[in-house]
Structure 1
Amino acid sequence: MDITVVGEGSVLAAPDTLRLHAGVEVRRPSAADAFEAARAAAARLTEALGRAGVAARDVTTVELSLGPEYEAYPKVAAYRAAQGVEAVVRDVGRADHVIDTVAGVGEEARLNGVAFELSDPAAALAEARERAFRDAAAKAAQYAALAGRPLGRVVSVSELRQAPPQPMRAAAMVAEAGASVSPGMRPVTVFVEVGYDFA
């Protein structure tokens, strides 16, 4: 006879990386003008991110769009072009500065949100696994006691698959001058399934 329990372990860790979702958007009378203006604005955005300390390898294009806006179909009123990037800021202490830099690109600039992450979650995961294993052992001991049987050795251990924790996002940018975005703390959680036999 054996017993299988699931233990949960969670620790809080301070994010040290910021993913900034930004871009540019323009509206022009022709498709060519809109595309050209969006490309020029995107180049200014990339240059501004570089001046703010974001490495070129940490800037990725994630959106590129061009399309008509109709006054009354099929009459086209204008053309809208947009280009978006994801910028990885590896020093969260510079988050406000980078955001201000993007906002300063001009009226074409768009701020679409931020996500705070752990660049290296290994230490937090290791501690969460220890807590999960201890939690499983405590549960198994309780069940063994309730069954009136001594708890035996561990016969199986399996870390359960789960969706990774979602990055903490701030969908709206700071609304007042001088306000700050904060990474806060994020939970790192592990679930482990442990099987024991009864002595």
Structure 2
Amino acid sequence: MKAVFVSIALIMLNGCQLLPEPAVPEPAAVPVAVSEPTTEPVVEPQPEPPLLRIADDAKTLLAWVDYRASLLHNVAAEREQVNSSAQQDDVWLLKRTMLQLHPDTPYLTRLRLQMQAADQLTLLPPPLAALLSWDLAFNQKLLEAESAVSALTRLNAQQHDNIERLQKTNKELQKKIDALTQIEAQLNQPVPAEENNNGQR
């Protein structure tokens, strides 16, 4: 076993000696600093934001998706802008619908809009209607959750009232039990025997 190990070590050493020596890197010449003429950065023109309109092309759909995403951060300012707008066309109506579907909108407003939105979807191009139907589906789930929370809150309040009423009844019954216990204790006390005049019983 020892001989095998020694022979393997010798073969490896011979193999290492047969490899070419690594090239020694020559020292690199120090580059001479050449001053480049400074150029001002070219300012690319900002792309115009796509216009919101009722259409089914990709740019318009992307514009509506971007508009919906911007509502998450700036809903109050957008509500104010839409409410103060003098132009009330189909785009304004769709913007208003999206704003009213926002979770910050009161429950009853969103519920009323949920009922009316089906008619509005039929007037839109199919891709735009599909985009808005996603919002409506989300709103429906949110309305259901809020309704369930409201029902549970009412049930919780009723149970709380029942508990208070039962606690009051319990206290009254406990007072009656305590009074009966005192009466029973008085009845169970031994009656002292009367003494005669001689001090004998």
TM-score, structure 2 normalization: 0.26
Q: Which protein has the larger Cα radius of gyration, Structure 1 or Structure 2?
A: 2
> Which structure has the higher relative contact order (CA within 8 Å, separation 6+)?
1
Q: Whose strand proportion is higher, 1 or 2?
A: 1
